[in-house]
Chain A
Amino acid sequence: MIDKKTIEHIAKLARLEITDLEATEYSQQLGKALTHFEQISKINTDGVEPLLTPAEIEPFWREDEPKQEFTPEEMTRNAPSRAGNLFKVPPVV
């Protein structure tokens, strides 16, 4: 169990509006999952560098040349609301 207050705090950090019912569900489900996942805490990882990506890091360089692959129309066409080629949002405070 993760208490509901923590769940509400996490939801706020994640910018997710969740219902009271969802908060109750998540507090049980995430609590259960984390309890299971916590088994890794018993592993001795002293001095082990975390593996953040399995990619071979092979630096490569390309010319830093500006490219215009898309038109402003193409880049703004998917916006839920726009004014010309500008993104439109309600006034925010």
Chain B
Amino acid sequence: MNLTRATITEIVEAVKAKSVSAKEVTAHFLKRAEELNPKLNAFTSFNVNAVSQAEEIDARIARGEDPGPMAGVPFGIKEMLCTKGLVTNAGSKILQNFIPPYDATVVARLKKAGVVITGKLNQDEFAMGSSNETSYFGGVKNPWNLDCVPGGSSGGSAAAQAARLCAGTIGTDTGGSIRQPASFCGIVGVKPTYGRVSRYGIVAYASSLDQAGPMVSTVKDAALTLEVISGHDEKDSTTSQRKVPRWSQELSSNIKGMKIGLIKEYMQGGLHADVQKTVDNAVDALKKMGAEIVEVSIPMTEYAVPVYYLVAASEASSNLARYDGVKYGYRAEFQNLSAVELEDFYGKTRGQGFGKEVKRRIMLGTYCLSSGYYDAYYNKAGQVRRMIMNQYLEAFKNCDIILSPVTTSPAFKIGERVSDPLTMYLNDIFTTSTNLAGLPGMSVPFGMSSEGLPIGIQLTATHFEEQDMLNVGFALEDASPVKGKVPHVI
């Protein structure tokens, strides 16, 4: 068995059949990760107990117990998610040494299903970034071209998965942070419907937008992982009480008669030629499989980026108020322990603990929420947000799935866009409206640029209709011209 290229499903079957032990699988991926990580900087830390935890799975199998639906599968987890006993730094100096006493619900559910956590994955600081260049722990490199960014903010997850440093990874998506790096690194990334997956134990960035999801190699692996992490959690009152479907078992590439919507406003040019070609190819492939292509209109989509940044920054400025240097996290040095001004205590701690982009967004959010500006920015953005969501719901009356690009271009060069925050923000044009409306979205690899960089296709469904989305993704995966292509590091 070629473990490096094996899918999650294949690993689980092999481990349960005892043709390979969970211990061997974990040791294999840990060895790869330790060898290749110096090149990629995808992992920020490794779990020193991973092998012994894998041995426990083997022991359960030996005793004839059910080891769970994901028995012996090594996963890397984004730094945003709390992992009991393992540093959880959110890519920030301010949480550099934070060791949570508990697991995020997503992590607890994965472990219960038999997953072995091998380590934590690098990301943009507090998930604020589209290139992984804002991490306090250094940027991540794209395994397809080490001069390029892996995307962000879940760049460590995307790079680790593309290079197969683990069998699966978890990312988080507030404005595209799962789908954009998945597209840049040629893997499958799913952002579930808002409320599908518990946010308990996930470092909060913008609570009305944040969702965690799988970043893996195949659509089936994504469906299986999503099944395990989804469902109501009494520790997160925004989680839905709807039953979690058996997406992986219901997966079907028969999409005959399905209506695929193309957003008229997205078809006005400006796309990188290779991205345009990838979209055209995907539409042709779906037509051949019997899908019906329809045009839909979402005029408000042009306001998605402004609304997203106003909402996300406002929520962030409030969420990040908790970093006060008292209960946990970084505290500035105070030379003499004589009395300090309280404002100095907070100001110095936060001024030194947060990086530039995080400070920029806290400032933007504080400005939007401050007296005299609240109505013009935060409140107005909320109103436009509802109009965007309503237009999506209207569009979904005429189609089952919306197909679009994930980004305007393939992965860009490291350092190319850091100097201008607004240009970086405008990258998120195709991904942010999904979060604003709370819809599920995913990226599936379907193309390759002339320079050999992967390009994904974005699929969006209406609330809680992940099955349709996964099915179209499954069909596209099967027809993909880049099926089986892996970066040279493999």
Contacts and interface: CB of A to CB of B under 8 A. Distances in A.
B370 A51 contact: no
Given A69-B102, A79-B326, A37 B310 contact: yes
Interface of A: prevailing SS: loop
B101 A91 contact: no
Interface stretch (B128-136, B148-156, B375-383): B375-383
A89 B325 CA distance: 9
A7 B363 contact: yes
A40 B331 contact: no
Contact of A53 (B99, B238, B309, B325): B238
A58 B364 CA distance: 32
B105 to A, nearest CB: 13
Interface string A41-68: 1010100111111111010101000000
Contact of B342 (A43, A75, A78, A93): A93
B98 A78 contact: yes
A21 B330 CA distance: 23
A14 B341 contact: no
Which of B377, B379, B383, B436 neighbours the largest number of chain A CB atoms within 10 Å of its CB?
B383
A31 B370 CA distance: 16
Interface of B: prevailing SS: helix
A32 B364 CA distance: 11
Contacts of A80: 325-326, 328-331
B106 to A, nearest CB: 17
Contact of A33 (B101, B344, B421): B421
Contact of A18 (B234, B306, B351): B351
Contact of A87 (B208, B326, B359, B437): B326
B340 interface: yes
A91 B340 contact: yes
A90 interface: yes
Given A33-B421, A89-B345, A13 B366 contact: yes
Given A45-B380, A50-B379, A89-B326, A55 B340 contact: no
B17 interface: no
Q: Please classify how large the interface on chain A is, using the bins under 10, 10 to 19, 20 to 34, 35 or more.
A: 35 or more
B195 A32 contact: no
Given A30-B363, A91-B338, A12 B343 contact: yes
Contacts of A14: 317, 350, 362-363, 366
Interface in A5-51: 6-7, 10-18, 22, 26, 29-30, 32-34, 36-41, 43, 45, 48-51
Interface residues of B, number: 75
Given A7-B363, A69-B102, A15 B422 contact: no
A40 B97 CA distance: 41
B240 A77 contact: no
A83 interface: no
A39 B306 contact: yes
Nearest to A71: B101
Contacts of A16: 347, 350-351, 354, 359, 362-363
Contacts of B20: none
A37 B338 CA distance: 45
B360 A48 contact: no
Interface stretch (B177-185, B269-277, B384-392, B442-450): B384-392
B307 interface: yes
A38 to B, nearest CB: 8
A93 to B, nearest CB: 5
B237 interface: yes
Rank and list the top 4 A-B pairs by shortest CB-CB distance, nearest first. Answer: A54-B438, A50-B382, A17-B351, A78-B328
9 contacts: A14-B362, A17-B352, A26-B363, A37-B310, A50-B385, A78-B328, A79-B326, A92-B345, A93-B341
Given A40-B307, A54-B389, 18 more contacts: A10-B363, A16-B350, A17-B347, A17-B350, A30-B363, A30-B364, A34-B364, A37-B310, A40-B380, A54-B194, A58-B241, A70-B102, A74-B101, A78-B327, A80-B331, A87-B327, A90-B345, A91-B338
